[in-house]
Amino acid sequence: MALTLSQPHPLPRNPGMPLDLSWVEEARVNRTAVERRVATLPARRTVKKAWQAAWLLHAVRTLDLTTLSGDDTPGTVRRLCAKARSPVRPELLAALGVAGLPLRVGAVCVYHEMVPVAVEALAGSGIPVAAVSTGFPAGLTPHRLKLQEIEASVVAGAREIDAVISRHHVLTGNWRALYQEVRDFRAACGEAHLKVILAVGELGSLGNVYKASLVAMQAGADFIKTSTGKEAVNATLDAGLVMVRAIRAYHEATGYRVGFKPAGGVRSAKQALDWLILLREELGVEWMQPWLFRIGASALLNDIERQLEHLAFGRYASMQYQPLG
């Protein structure tokens, strides 16, 4: 099963729609059916050898290469941006038979403070800078300050905003408040694309994950994202399946395509393939492209390179080799 490596193209943005409370409140999720479906994914579809290399190279194109640590420095961010420009070593690409392949990640994701550094380091590359926002990761700062943070990151050059919701709106079933919150985030973003972070591990149930997904899309989200990566439970295939089925239902109802981003705990090449297979099975090849699918990760690229090395040379790179170190 081959994947194309074409360049991204713009799609019409999801404009949102008036809040349809009946659609949200009537939604139900069968946890047993979700778990059964997720359990079948690895058995139903696998990729091996040359196909696996193609899928892993494609996974690189979907990465939101991320650094969100309290000890981030301008030097850390510049090194990350250099890796974003050339995510796989040229000699490894040559060994795989794809020398000169134009390969870059989907975005570089940083805190607001580091947006100007990343914008400068990525100048001319076409790689967008994504800024986490709205009181990331807890989302408990005042609403006015959340909007100001978004606006400041956009002015600084961020082309994508990863915004956390107020989880208490979901936990109390206050769907109108959640809708208005996300609607305000979208307005503050302007031309920057909005990725709405649900923090699925803190929403209490898969039913709440589905409903929050619907509300975020109705409010104009360009992407819905699983997690901040800072919760105890982050991206799981169960929550991911629920979210992509909400995306499918929204597309069927409105004609607009909303993107999906798993983030938090995605560290191995095998996990990246699992997420790509989920998208292929549930939404089709178009949703596997970087304009509709991203993986938020920091350590994942290291393992992808190790697996590509094994596919190319029959051996793994030394664990002492750290491309991002």
Question: Catalytic amino acids?
Answer: 162, 225, 261
Element (H, E) at 220: none
Q: How far apart are CA 288 and CA 83, in angstroms?
A: 22
Question: At 51, phi and psi to the nearest 5?
Answer: -65, -35
Q: Checking DSSP bridges between strand 295-297 and strand 259-261, what pairing results, if any?
A: unpaired
Half-sphere exposure (CA, 13 Å, Cβ side) for 295? 32
Burial code (b: 16+ CB inside 10 Å, e: under 16) for 112-129 equals bebbbbbbebbeeeebbb
Q: How far apart are CA 20 and CA 312, in angstroms?
A: 51
First-to-last alpha carbon distance for the chain, in angstroms, is 33
Q: How far apart are CA 277 and CA 46, in angstroms?
A: 8
- Are residues 63 and 87 in contact, defined by beta-carbon separation less than 8 angstroms? yes
Torsion of CA 119, 123, 129, 135, to 10 degrees: 10
Q: How far apart are CA 235 and CA 240, in angstroms?
A: 7
Question: What radius of gyration do the chain's Cα atoms show?
Answer: 19
Q: Cis peptide leading into 137, omega within 30 of 0? A: yes
